[in-house]
């Protein structure tokens, strides 16, 4: 029927747009990971900033892959999601890498704040001295916490799907989806807590760094001097503020997901997916351009591609 063909064409169009976004994000994060891995092989070690960026790039590559596969199946081959345990595995892996993405990003913001900001507080000085030793433990804690959430999501969805296996006929398919979504409120609550906690870490990092920059700039103006520390502050602030803006948009998309997940609102959910697939690529691109070495390497590659 014309209505079914319109739905099919709309689904194909949305999949094409999400695919382009995911491919761009994968290319950007693959570049980030490749450059850092080459540096690791050459130097036989990575500094704390590079360790965070490497884990962040890897988690975003995996997140985009699982997210795209889930979206593709949900739009093109919907019934595949009800073959046990495809839905459970995709949602569990998606939650693991999504949570890892946000926690590692928050670790990066905290690292910038501690490394660059200047405060005379004894605890802050202790953190500044020990930060390079703390970073691996922070990253390990982020991965373990994300893994726990991924397993928790897998179990909840597995239980919800098993209770709704009777609803498999075409006419009652959407009702089955709604019934499953109603079991997922604990997941939405957990995701909300995770996002909010990491968001608070980003906010505090931005506030402390901004305050440190203001104090340092005022001190330099009083002494009529220039300092490289101001440039470091500004570079870090640009990175954190860009992440703060995009994190705010992504946080809003989470709220929209909570509101519209149990309603058949294709257009609103597509907007949410659009934001969530754009975030990993755009933020990684900003991180590349805020790092002089990565920026030079990217520009060199692009110039070589232009020449060819």
Domains and CATH numbers, the chain: 2-296 (1.20.1070.10)
Mean pLDDT check: name the lowest of 66-75, 116-125, 165-174.
165-174
Residue 71's nearest CA partner among 276, 279, 284, 282 is 276
**Residue 97 in tokens:** 């890498």
Looking at per-residue confidence, does 10 or 130 come out higher? 130
Q: What is the mean pLDDT of the chain?
A: 79
The CA-atom distances, in angstroms, between 191 and each of 55, 152, 160 are 21, 11, 17
pLDDT tens digits, one per residue of 7-29: 566 667 788 888 999 999 999 99
Helix (H, G, I), strand (E, B) or coil at 92: helix
CB 277 within 8 A of CB 19: no
Residue 200's nearest CA partner among 101, 128, 109 is 109
- Alpha-carbon gap, residue 304 to 308, rounded angstroms: 6
Can you give the pLDDT at residue 170? 40
Can you give the pLDDT at residue 88? 85
pLDDT tens digits, one per residue of 244-261: 777 777 777 776 766 665
pLDDT tens digits, one per residue of 77-86: 777 877 778 8
Can you give the pLDDT at residue 272? 77
């Amino acid at each position: 029927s014309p209505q079914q063909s319109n739905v099919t064409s709309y689904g194909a169009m949305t999949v094409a747009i999400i695919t382009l976004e995911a491919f761009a994000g994968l290319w950007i994060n693959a570049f980030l990971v490749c450059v850092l891995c080459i540096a690791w092989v050459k130097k036989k070690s990575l500094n704390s900033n590079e360790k965070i960026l490497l884990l962040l790039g890897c988690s975003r590559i995996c997140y985009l892959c699982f997210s795209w596969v889930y979206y593709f199946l949900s739009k093109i081959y919907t019934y595949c999601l009800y073959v046990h345990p495809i839905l459970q595995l995709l949602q569990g892996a998606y939650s693991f890498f999504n949570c890892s993405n946000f926690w590692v990003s928050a670790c990066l913001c905290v690292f910038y704040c501690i490394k660059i900001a200047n405060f005379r507080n004894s605890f802050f000085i202790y953190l500044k001295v020990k930060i390079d030793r703390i970073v691996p433990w922070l990253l390990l804690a982020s991965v373990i916490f994300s893994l726990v959430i991924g397993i928790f999501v897998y179990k909840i969805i597995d239980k919800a799907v098993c209770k709704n296996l009777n609803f498999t006929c075409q006419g009652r398919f959407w009702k089955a989806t709604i019934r499953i979504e109603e079991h997922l409120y604990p997941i939405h609550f957990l995701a909300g807590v995770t996002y909010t906690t990491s968001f608070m870490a980003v906010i505090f990092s931005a506030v402390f760094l901004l305050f440190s920059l203001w104090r340092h700039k005022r001190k330099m103006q009083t002494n009529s001097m220039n300092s490289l520390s101001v440039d470091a502050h500004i570079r870090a602030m640009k990175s954190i503020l860009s992440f703060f803006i995009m994190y705010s948009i992504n946080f809003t998309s989470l709220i929209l997901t909570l509101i519209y997940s149990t309603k058949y609102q294709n257009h609103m959910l597509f907007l949410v997916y659009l934001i969530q697939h754009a975030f990993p690529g755009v933020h990684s691109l900003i991180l590349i351009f805020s790092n002089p070495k990565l920026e030079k390497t990217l520009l060199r590659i692009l110039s070589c591609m232009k020449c060819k």
